[in-house]
Amino acid sequence: MLKRIKRASGRVKIISLFLILISSIVISGWAFGYGLNNNNDGLVLDIDFSEENYNSSTRTFADKSGNNNHAVSTNPAVFAPDKDGKSTGAMRFDGLTDKITTEVGFTAAEDATYSVWFNHSGTGLRTIIGSSVDTGTIRMNNGSLQMYWDPVTVSQSAGFTVPSGTWNHIVVVKTNGQNKIYFNGVLIWSPTVSNVNINGIKFGQQDSRTDRMFSGYMAQAKIYNRALSEQEVSKLYLDFKSKYQISSLEKGLIGYWPMNEENYNATTGRVTDKSAYSHHGINGGVDLTTDRYGKINAAMQFDGSNNDVIDIVNTPTLEKFTLSAWVYNETGGDSRHSILRDYWEIVGTQICYWSYGFADTYWRCSPSGALPLNEWTHVVTTWDGSVIRHYSNNNLVWTDSVVSSGASQQFTSIGGQPTRKLKARVSEIRIYNRVLNDEEIGSLYSLYTPGKGDLLSKGLVLDLPLTSKYTKGGVVGSEIVTDKSANSNDAVNFGGTITNDYTSFNGTNQYIGNIGNPELLEPSSITVSSWINMDTDASLLRHIWFTKWYGYSCEIAANTRIPYFRLNGPGDFYSSVPITPGKWHHFVGTYDPAVGGKVYLDGVLVGSRATSIAITHTRNFPLNIGRYAGGIYFKGKISDAKIYNRALTADEVQSLYDRGKGVSGAVFNGL
């Protein structure tokens, strides 16, 4: 498995340079404060409710923040698997007397943030986070999220139902009279509240009441003495998001159409398949619309009258499958609506499936109400080679009593059945060649890419993972390398060795070239991003690993190993930190004529210069990865090469680095 250096190592190098430039007083107050007990980041409690973090004799969970704000379980703790599948990584709450208490509190004037991962069961009033006084409570009433903020104010409802049986992340940000509630990284509620004191934050109980105890499981909890920003909340969610969700949900994925503007090319009509199989679609009349979170242009609308269709590259017939989509069912269209042709359909408010490849051909339909009108519903249909099952919002609503043998038909379009015109809004369609288990279906249901992730698709004109999963055709050494962006800028491998995690180059005659539309790769503002690992025996001569000749390039200076971003016109933008041969580094160069150029190494800004000179591009010169067109080659490994037609912000660059993304979506950290 590919390993990439931690962000901390990049930070240590930057701090080392600053030691030369600034006084020891400043360093002790700023640089070395990071991670110590003064908690400049505001973290005052950091606890995971796992068996290894628990002292059974004192019933205490250790606080990892360094502040000794240890938490105490009222009863002997009982442990269960956490969101990552760790067998004793979460604590079970029995809904009767189990709770976790702390001594952390805040005055009415103080800002604060507290968060926890939880998985709930049970009905009635159930408290997620409370305190020793009758205020500051986040709870559920039959799954409906509520806030109880002081003894005078009645409970307020978010109008949001928390799914049961799945792991979810909730964050409460307390500020002056305005609270914000985030669910799985997304802001869902901003109620206006009174300023109140909160004493003794608890997990699982509202003040001393025993009639609204939490039932289910809890894992990591964090409390800050400041209000986290939306970007920080998003990062907190992504940092602790289940590895199971990230990696397992890629397994067997043969088609994934997000159906949003980031993955739709309005000029060519291409609706991008983000799986490795390039079942891209061509839009035939479907419009962009808002998704289930109200995000603009994040779903697609089928009008039910003009036979709107997205023709996709046909899938193979399947011996097992999972079909998944978010659907906003609407009246209109034909009595049967095809989500996928052939034949995954909506009949009124039923979910149905049919295959002429089955031995018994009949409609396998859920009960009515599984796909209600005028609301977003997550629908899943699975077939294990024997039995069809339908799920609605993570609930199994129908299991066929008859064995279905045979095969599925090919899926040929989203919508588009002439006599079964789809009237609905749709997003995030997935097809798997295997059956997802209940936990995976629950992960899909709770999975949502928040704003920062969406922004990392904005302006993306080239996305080459440079891994074996994203190749197609050609013999070894001359494969077609797939572009995951919506622009089909596929490339050709000239001799490089493509592995599961990267492509390696010998430094003499290997490179990636013949990369698509040159005009798309010549923007006035730009970001170039890639992971590189220079061989330890590479020469001390100049190396170039990313170049659009007479436009821009990413280079390593001779002798010094200093990386830099070269632009035709604006000039060179140097890093203040060298790379280390034999280690993975994330290099990003950005340029915006309004602010100039910047260079980032391992998520940290390491060089910048203000200039407004325009980039001069020379049309028809190729983009190469692994060499300069004039013959200077790179010796080492390269992965995850991207180009944007805009300058990413520092937050976005950090997010790219933190993802450390391989093509499976897994996060790589460490040496």
Q: Is residue 11 part of a domain?
A: no
The residue type at 196? V
Question: How many folded domains does the chain comprise?
Answer: 3
Write down which residue in 391, 423, 446 finishes a domain. 446
Q: Tell me, what's the pLDDT at 154?
A: 57
Q: Tell me, what's the pLDDT at 27?
A: 31
Both 434 and 516 in one domain: the answer is no
Which of these, 467, 457, 460, lies nearest to 640 by C-alpha position?
467
Per-residue pLDDT tens digits for 67-78 = 889 999 999 999
Average of per-residue pLDDT values in the chain: 82
Phi, psi of 627 (to 5 degrees): -160, 160
Per-residue pLDDT tens digits for 357-377 = 887 777 899 999 999 998 899
Which of these, 317, 271, 306, 314, lies nearest to 426 by C-alpha position?
271
Both 521 and 605 in one domain: the answer is yes
Position with higher pLDDT, 590 vs 268: 590
Confidence of residue 670 (pLDDT cuts 50, 70, 90): very low
Confidence of residue 629 (pLDDT cuts 50, 70, 90): low
Write down which residue in 409, 424, 446 finishes a domain. 446
Which of these, 475, 58, 425, 377, lies nearest to 260 by C-alpha position?
425
Which of these, 373, 292, 365, 369, lies nearest to 331 by C-alpha position?
373
Please tell me the least confidently modeled range out of 129-138, 313-322, 489-498. Answer: 129-138
The arithmetic mean of pLDDT across residues 308-321, rounded, is 89
Position with higher pLDDT, 564 vs 515: 564
Burial of 266 (0-12, 13-18, 19+ CB in 10 A): exposed
Asked whether the beta carbons of 576 and 607 are under 8 A apart, the reply is yes
Both 213 and 337 in one domain: the answer is no
343: preceding bond cis by omega (within 30 degrees): yes
Both 394 and 464 in one domain: the answer is no
Is pTM, for the whole model, over 0.85?
Answer: no
Position with higher pLDDT, 474 vs 661: 474
Q: Using CA of residue 288, residue 289, residue 291, residue 295, what is the dihedral sign? A: positive
Q: Is residue 30 part of a domain?
A: no
Q: Is residue 5 part of a domain?
A: no
Both 258 and 233 in one domain: the answer is no
Q: Is residue 27 part of a domain?
A: no
Asked whether the beta carbons of 642 and 600 are under 8 A apart, the reply is no
Both 157 and 176 in one domain: the answer is yes
Phi, psi of 666 (to 5 degrees): -70, 150
Q: Is residue 664 part of a domain?
A: no
Angle, CA 442 vertex, CA 441 and CA 445 arms, to 5°: 90
Both 409 and 435 in one domain: the answer is yes
Q: Tell me, what's the pLDDT at 351?
A: 95
Both 518 and 625 in one domain: the answer is yes
Between the CA atoms of 74, 78, 84 and 87, what dihedral angle is there, to the nearest 10 degrees? 150
Q: Is residue 284 part of a domain?
A: yes
Per-residue pLDDT tens digits for 140-157 = 988 888 888 776 555 666
DSSP class of residue 220 equals: E
Asked whether the beta carbons of 296 and 262 are under 8 A apart, the reply is no
CA distances from 210 to 125, 205, 298, 428 (A): 10, 7, 43, 41
Both 89 and 183 in one domain: the answer is yes
CA 531 to centroid of chain Cα atoms: 19
Query: Rounded to whole angstroms, how far apart are CA atoms 361 and 355?
Result: 6
Beta bridge partners of 221: 47, 116
Give the domain range for residue 327. 253-446
The arithmetic mean of pLDDT across residues 187-195, rounded, is 81
Please tell me the least confidently modeled range out of 165-179, 286-300, 657-671. Answer: 657-671
CATH number at residue 100: 2.60.120.200
Confidence of residue 55 (pLDDT cuts 50, 70, 90): very high
Both 304 and 439 in one domain: the answer is yes
Please tell me the least confidently modeled range out of 25-34, 188-197, 227-236, 626-635. Answer: 25-34
DSSP code string of 369-435: TSS-TTSEEEEEEEE-SS-EEEEETTEEEEE-SS---B-PPPP-EEE--TTS--EEEEEEEEEESS-
Both 551 and 620 in one domain: the answer is yes
Per-residue pLDDT tens digits for 9-48 = 444 444 444 333 333 333 333 232 223 333 347 899 999 9
Percent of the chain with pLDDT over 90: 41
The arithmetic mean of pLDDT across residues 244-265, rounded, is 80
Q: Is residue 39 part of a domain?
A: no
Asked whether the beta carbons of 297 and 261 are under 8 A apart, the reply is yes
Q: Tell me, what's the pLDDT at 241?
A: 57
Burial of 667 (0-12, 13-18, 19+ CB in 10 A): middle
The residue type at 670? G
131-140: b (≥16 Cβ within 10 Å) or e: bbbbbbbbbb
Q: Tell me, what's the pLDDT at 365?
A: 93
Both 275 and 217 in one domain: the answer is no
Q: Is residue 159 part of a domain?
A: yes
DSSP class of residue 627 equals: B
Write down which residue in 400, 415, 446 finishes a domain. 446
Q: Are strands 563-567 and 186-189 parallel, antiparallel or unpaired?
A: unpaired
Per-residue pLDDT tens digits for 504-561 = 999 899 999 877 666 678 889 999 999 999 998 877 777 788 888 778 999 998 888 8
Between the CA atoms of 629, 634, 640 and 646, what dihedral angle is there, to the nearest 10 degrees? -50
